[in-house]
Amino acid sequence: MTGIVVVFDFDKTIIDVDSDNWVVDELGFTDLFNQLLNTMPWNSVMDRMMREIHSHGKTVEDIEEVLKRVPIHPRVVPAIKSAHALGCELRIVSDANMFFIETILKHLGLRDYFSEINTNPGSVDDEGRLRISPYHDFTVSPHNCDLCPPNMCKGLVVERIKASLCKEENKRIIYLGDGSGDYCPSLKLGDSDYMMPRKNFPVWDLISRNPLLVKAEIHEWTDGDELERVLLQLISSISVEKPNNFPFSADCKLETLSVASHEAFPKALPVPH
């Protein structure tokens, strides 16, 4: 093992579009979706949209067919397989949902490459309707992070990952993302970690305003070609360094303490093999 955990955002990072928009647009519900976005949080709109789509006679199989056509850059799948072959542990932190992500990963033959998927639950109910719920039940226990949408703070997920890694050994995180929801986790990375923001996307804009706020080393990328090149270069440059040649992170204890107060948060759903 390289001691590297690669954390991927999903929408516009692994796939080239937003999976929620893709499904809604492809099934012809864009106008209703945009109307509802003015009235409730995105994650709640998606659950409502699944009700509308179901009531118009569209089945879960129709949704799966749309998901299997999702555009993905041809170098992304090889990049993921290479990172895995080089001994990295791969995880996903996404504000999409488990049903969309697992359907797409299975279709791409990638599901078993990821040890953990942290995302909004998504499952099919008895009536055959897809239900999407928040990662984090904000009506019961709000996460109190101003940077993140109410249903999911990715920064808390990264804090939990960091705390669990500290317990084992000194591992490093490489985080890849594009959206404004990836900014909060980028602030939680440590100075031995790496942040890969997608250039000219919201997280890159936010980081660019004050790059000094991010302790991790920043490596931008624009498309799947660059994602592959930058990620594999980073992995090989970390791998040739002497392992553990930096002191055991002094902030491990603090990170663990700060995460312990969030134990009410849902744990990551492990991917069954």
* 146 carries an active-site annotation: no
Of residues 78 and 142, the one with the C-beta less far from Zn ion:
142
Hunting for tokens 């923001």 — which residue is that?
197
Candidates 124, 145, 187, 218; binder of Zn ion (CB under 5 A) is 145
| 9 annotated as belonging to a binding site for a ligand | yes
Of residues 10 and 194, the one with the C-beta less far from Mg ion:
10
State the binding partner of 178 from Mg ion, Zn ion, none, CB within 5 to 8 A by kind: Mg ion
Pattern of binders to Zn ion over 78-117, x per CB under 5 A?
A: ----------------------------------------
Of residues 10 and 166, the one with the C-beta less far from Mg ion:
10
For 144, residues 6+ apart whose C-beta sits below 8 A from its C-beta are none
**Least Cβ distance, residue 206 to Mg ion (angstroms):** 13
How many Å from the N-terminal Cα to the C-terminal Cα in the chain?
19
Candidates 60, 147, 232, 252; binder of Zn ion (CB under 5 A) is 147
Sign of the C-alpha dihedral computed for residues 18, 163, 251 and 219 taken in this order: negative
Pattern of binders to Zn ion over 175-214, x per CB under 5 A?
A: ---------x------------------------------
**Among residues 30, 176, 42, 161, which one has the least CA distance to residue 97?**
42
Q: What amino acid occupies position 185?
A: P
71 by Cβ neighbours in 10 Å (0-12 / 13-18 / 19+) ranks as exposed
The residue ranges that bind Mg ion (CB under 5 A) are: 9, 11-12, 178-179
| 95 annotated as belonging to a binding site for a ligand | yes
Neighbouring C-beta atoms of residue 271, cutoff 10 Å? 18
* 11 carries an active-site annotation: yes
Rg (CA), the chain: 18
**Least Cβ distance, residue 152 to Zn ion (angstroms):** 8
153 binding Zn ion? (CB under 5 A): yes
**Least Cβ distance, residue 177 to Mg ion (angstroms):** 6
| 31 annotated as belonging to a binding site for a ligand | no
**DSSP string computed for 183-252:** HHHHHH--TTSEEEEBTTSHHHHHHHH-GGG--SEE--B-SHHHHHHHHHHHHHHHHHSPTT-SPPPTTH
* CB-based burial, 253-268: b 16+ in 10 Å, e otherwise: eebbeebeebeebeeb
What are the catalytic residues? 9, 11
Residue ranges at the known binding site for Mg(2+): 9, 11, 178
Give the residues lining the site for Zn ion (CB under 5 A).
145, 147-148, 153, 155, 184
Residue ranges at the known binding site for substrate: 20, 95
